[in-house]
Amino acid sequence: MLRRMHRVIALTFASLAFLALAPAVAEACSCLRATPAQARDGADAIFEGRVTLLETHEDHVRVTFAVTQQWKGVDSERLTLTTATNSAACGFPFAEGETYLVYAHAHEGGLETTLCDRTALVTDAGEDLAALGSGSTPVDVGQPTPVTDPSASTPEPAPSRGCASCAAAPPSPAALVAPLALLLLGRRRR
């Protein structure tokens, strides 16, 4: 009987020691997924943008976007927000060069997004895009440069602003040479 009691006590201590020495359970991000309408109503900013820069810091990642479309709270073509550095802390795993539909909320003077905000690759955001409807293209029009000399015959051009993605590229050399070649060929045939 005494031997049996020692065995039970030994097993109890061994079990307690195992539980005490076992690694701690990792806390994971846990959230209730909102519907697109709930996410829209709760977000401070909603936009579609391509990631142009990722800057990893100790506890967060700064993500810079080239905004291509907006639905709420965005008025410029460039936007930077933060997210936690890992998914266990609800950080969203952005990839440079990819395009996302982002739901963001105000946080410490800026914007932040998490795994709980319905942020997703645009290719995976069909339900949200349908619920949001058509967005608009943000254009940073800035302030025009005032003309300081009223007698000047030509005003100074305003600084280049607005739709940076819409800027026209200079014509290629081939595009300049082609009309000239056609003109010369037309004169030879006459």
Report pLDDT for 6.
Answer: 55
Query: What would the two tokens of residue 22 be?
Result: 């076992």
Contacts of 104 (CB under 8 A, 6+ apart): 43, 44, 45, 46, 47, 73, 81, 111, 112, 113, 117, 119
d(Cα 139, Cα 164) in Å, to the nearest integer?
A: 9
**pLDDT tens profile 64-96:** 999 999 999 998 999 999 999 988 899 999 999
**In percent, how much of the chain has pLDDT > 70?**
59
Report pLDDT for 2.
Answer: 64
Between residues 3 and 61, the one the model is more confident about: 61
Report pLDDT for 129.
Answer: 96
**pLDDT tens profile 131-178:** 999 999 887 655 554 555 545 444 444 443 344 444 444 555 555 555
Identify the structural domains of the chain with CATH numbers, from first to last.
Answer: 45-132 (2.40.50.120)
Report pLDDT for 23.
Answer: 45
